[in-house]
C-alpha cells in the first residue's frame, strides 16, 4: 500500500475530495498546513503600507492510503482536480505503507482500507 500526501490549494479541496469519491476513494484525511515551495512568496502589504514577502502560505494537505494498484489512478484524479496551472498548485508525495489496521474490527491488510 502507499500513502499519498497531496499538498494543494485550500480552495480546491472540495473539488479534489469530490473527484476522489467519484473515483472510489472514500477514505482520506485533511489537515491545514502552511507551506513554502519554489514559488518565491507573495508580496503583501501590511497595515501601514509596508511591503512584506510572505513565503509561508496556507495550504491543505490530503492524506490517503491506497492499494499499490490504485496509486496512479488516485494521483491522476488529484492532479486533474487540483491543477490551475499557476505557481503554488502544490506537490504530491508517495511513500510506502506496510500495514493497515481497522480499529473497529482489528482487521489488517488491504481489506481494511
**Interface residues toward its own copies, by CB under 8 A:** 2-3, 6-8, 17, 21, 26-38, 55-56, 59, 61, 63, 65, 75, 78-79, 82-104, 106, 112
Q: Give the Cα separation of 56 and 45 in Å (integer).
A: 15
| Unique residue bearing C-alpha cell 469530490 | 18
Please pick, from the candidates 10, 24, 31, 36, the single residue that binds ligand ADP as defined by CB under 6 A. Answer: 36
Half-sphere exposure of 29 (CA within 13 A, CB side): 8
In the complex, minimum distance from the CB of residue 105 to ligand ADP, in angstroms, rounded to a whole number: 7
Tell me which residues in 47-76 interact with ligand ADP (CB under 6 A).
Answer: 57, 59, 63-65
Contact of residue 60 among another protein, its own copies, ligand ADP, none (CB under 5-8 Å per partner type): none
3-state secondary structure 49-93: CCEEEECCEEEEEEEEEECHHHHHHHHHHHHHHHCCCCCCCCEEE
Contact of residue 83 among ligand ADP, its own copies, another protein, none (CB under 5-8 Å per partner type): its own copies
Amino acid at each position: 500500500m502507499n500513502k499519498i500526501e497531496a499538498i494543494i490549494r485550500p480552495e480546491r479541496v472540495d473539488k479534489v475530495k469530490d473527484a476522489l469519491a467519484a473515483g472510489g476513494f472514500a477514505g482520506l484525511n485533511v489537515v491545514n498546513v502552511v507551506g513554502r515551495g519554489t514559488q518565491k512568496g507573495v508580496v503583501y502589504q501590511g497595515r501601514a503600507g509596508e511591503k512584506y514577502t510572505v513565503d509561508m502560505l496556507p495550504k491543505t494537505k490530503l492524506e490517503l492510503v491506497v492499494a499499490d494498484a490504485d496509486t496512479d489512478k488516485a494521483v491522476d484524479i488529484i492532479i486533474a482536480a487540483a491543477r490551475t496551472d499557476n505557481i503554488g498548485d502544490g506537490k504530491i508525495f508517495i511513500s510506502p505503507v506496510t500495514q493497515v489496521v481497522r480499529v473497529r474490527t482489528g482487521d489488517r491488510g488491504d481489506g481494511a482500507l
